[in-house]
Amino acid sequence: WDTHYPFNATGPGANYQTVIHGKKNKPKACFVSLVRNKEMWDLAKSISSVQDRFNNKFDYPWIFLNDEPFTEEFKKRISAIVPNSQFGVIPTEHWSYPDYVSKERAAQTRQDMKNIIYGDSESYRHMCRFQSGFFFQHPLLAGFDWYWRVEPSTELLCSIDYDVFQFMQDNDLGLGFTITIHEFQKTIPTLWENTRQFAVEHPEHISEDNLLKFISEDGGDTYNLCHFWSNFEVANLNFYRSDAYMDYFNFLDRSGGFFYERWGDAPVHSIAASLFLPRDKLHYFSDVGYHHPPYNNCPFDDQIRAKGKCYCNPDTDFTFRDYACGKQYFNAQGLEKPNNWKDYSK
Ligand code: GDP
Ligand code: MN
């Protein structure tokens, strides 16, 4: 397809390596949940679901992160569900204003954006910035190559009988997702402009085999708002630690857009993965039944649902709805959509 300047620049893209540890080649992987003390019960539900539907078989450790210290109560209740867990506090530098950002302008923005979801929230902005640029630098994640993000109030709707991390590692994948969706334009007025400027300055970070087509309908002139919903994300941490990603995050952060607008980590991750990774490093987990309010990824293939003992109604699947970006993803990857996809698009 036709790609326009500056995205027609072809470079190697993100360059990173995963060290294969140990004889058995078991991935160095963990679950990561960023969470507040007050979300303890909603989190308990999510991690029980992941333990029961997947991790009781595979026993990967969990890391819980918070901008405040976790309470004793929180640690006690949560480690009763996942014994193999660690609790970390986020360094202040990763959850505060950089010195070049004006707090006055940030406060004015929150005022101006009060009719947009989370538009008036200061903590939400710190959260999105942390999830964009810092979680993978937390000392508790230092020894890990792979992570799976789990949020409060989410559920796995089917059992997963294979090792998802092993699958990621064996196939040398960068990022896996379950749900795609459009972003609210009003939260990211200048994100695309900044991305284009970054591409002008760093053509070497744009992969030759990128997935630009997923995020742009016009060869890169405009952003179509499509992204991978980041509340579920399985990814190679070394991608985030790569020069390409770090240069991109630092470039974005410098512009102040995390505070002067309301940039989400999901579009940031997704744009980066779509531009800097060869597209065969992205993976849609169509078989993973997943719920984050208010949307479901529910496999509508009867056999997959039976095999996974799913309890979701396939009519609730979000993948091919207009507000999702399943169509864009399948087209961009050159994948054939399931032949009955239209039955699940209304
Ligand atoms: P939404 O999914 O975009 O509606 O946002 P959530 O409220 O689910 O927040 C996204 C993730 O960040 C969840 O895992 C929350 O628990 C976490 N989170 C959001 N705000 C804060 C915060 O101020 N402190 C901490 N520690 N976690 C937060
Ligand atoms: Mn959430």
Query: At 124, which CATH number?
Result: 3.90.550.10
- Give CA–CA dist 250/137, Å, rounded: 14
Ligand 1 atom closest to the CA of 43, numbered from 1: 16
| pLDDT beyond 60 at 114 | yes
| For range 278-300, the mean pLDDT | 97
Q: Decide if 159 is inside a domain.
A: yes
Portion of the chain with pLDDT greater than 90, in percent = 95
157 in ligand 1 pocket by Cβ < 6 Å?
Answer: no
Cα end-to-end distance, the chain, whole Å: 29
- Domain assignment of residue 300, yes or no: no
Residue tagged active-site, from 151, 155, 183, 233 = 233
pLDDT at 269 over 80: yes
The answer to whether 332 and 213 have CB atoms below 8 angstroms apart is yes
Least confident segment among 6-20, 53-67, 222-236: 6-20
C-alpha 104 – ligand 1 centre gap (Å): 24
Is residue 199 within 8 Å of residue 206, measured between CB atoms? Answer: yes
Cα distances (angstroms) measured from residue 11 to each of 3, 200, 242, 270: 14, 12, 14, 18
Is residue 342 over pLDDT 90? yes
Q: Is residue 293 part of a domain?
A: no
- Residue 346 is predicted with a pLDDT of 86
Q: What is the pLDDT of residue 260?
A: 98
For residue 274, being part of any structural domain is answered with yes
Q: Model's pTM, two decimal places? A: 0.97
Quote the pLDDT of residue 59. 97
- HSE value, Cβ hemisphere, 13 Å, CA-based, for 211: 29
Query: Is 173 among the domain residues?
Result: yes
Whether the pLDDT of residue 87 is over 70: the answer is yes
What are the structure tokens assigned to 166, written together?
Answer: 């092993």
Atom of ligand 1 nearest to the CA of 126: 23
Residue nearest to atom 21 of ligand 1 (CA): 127
Distances (CA, A) of 280 to 101, 151, 180, 250: 37, 27, 17, 26
The mean pLDDT value for 80-92 works out to: 97
Please tell me if the CB atom of residue 39 comes closer than 6 angstroms to any atom of ligand 1: yes
Ligand 1 proximity of 151 Cβ (cutoff 6 Å): yes
pLDDT for the residue 1:
63
Distance 126 CA to ligand 1 centre (A): 10
Of 1-15, 31-45, 284-298, the one with minimum mean pLDDT is 1-15
Looking at the predicted structure, is the pLDDT value of residue 23 above 60? no
Structural domain harbouring 264: 29-284
Query: pLDDT band for position 17 (50/70/90)?
Result: confident
Taking the centre of ligand 1 as the mean of its atom positions, its distance from the CA of residue 225, in whole angstroms, is 21
Q: Is the pLDDT of residue 118 over 90?
A: yes
Question: Mean pLDDT over all residues of the chain?
Answer: 96
* Å from CA of 43 to ligand 2 middle: 10
Mean pLDDT of 216-224: 97
Is residue 78 domain-resident? yes
The reported pLDDT for the residue numbered 11 is 85
pLDDT at 29 over 70: yes
Report in angstroms the alpha-carbon separations of 48 from 78, 148, 224: 9, 15, 36
Provide the 3-class DSSP secondary structure of residue 63. strand
Q: Is the CB of 154 under 6 A from ligand 1?
A: no
Residue 330 and residue 39: Cα distance in Å, rounded?
Answer: 35
Q: How many whole angstroms separate alpha carbon 184 and alpha carbon 299?
A: 26
- Whether residue 327 is contained in a domain is answered as no
List strands edge to edge, sheet with 29-34: 85-89, 62-66, 29-34, 146-149, 233-236, 175-177, 282-284
Average pLDDT of 238-244? 98
User: Which of 28, 295, 85 is closest to 177 using CA atoms?
Assistant: 295
From 32, 33, 35, the mutation candidate for ligand 1 (largest count of ligand atoms within 8 A of CB) is 35
Per-residue model confidence as pLDDT tens digits over 162-183: 999 999 999 999 999 999 999 9
Q: Does 207 score more than 60 pLDDT?
A: yes
From atom 18 of ligand 1, which residue's Cα is the shortest distance away? 35
Of 16-25, 200-209, 278-287, least confident by mean pLDDT is 16-25
pLDDT at 2: 82
The complex scores an ipTM of 0.99
Position 136 pLDDT exceeds 70: yes
Task: Please name the residue that has the structure tokens 């579009």.
Answer: 267
Average pLDDT over residues 241-267: 98
- Give how many domains the chain has, as a whole number: 1
Q: Can you tell me the mean pLDDT for 127-155?
A: 98
Q: Is the peptide bond before 27 cis (omega within 30 degrees of 0)?
A: no
- The DSSP element (H or E) to which 268 belongs, if any, is helix 265-276
Flag whether 326 is in a domain: no
Residue type, 81: I
Q: Is 73 a catalytic residue?
A: no
CA 44 to ligand 1 centroid distance, Å? 15
Q: Can you give the pLDDT at residue 18?
A: 77
- Rounded CA gap, 277 and 13, in Å? 6
Report the DSSP beta bridge partners of residue 177: 284
Mean pLDDT of the region 57-71:
98
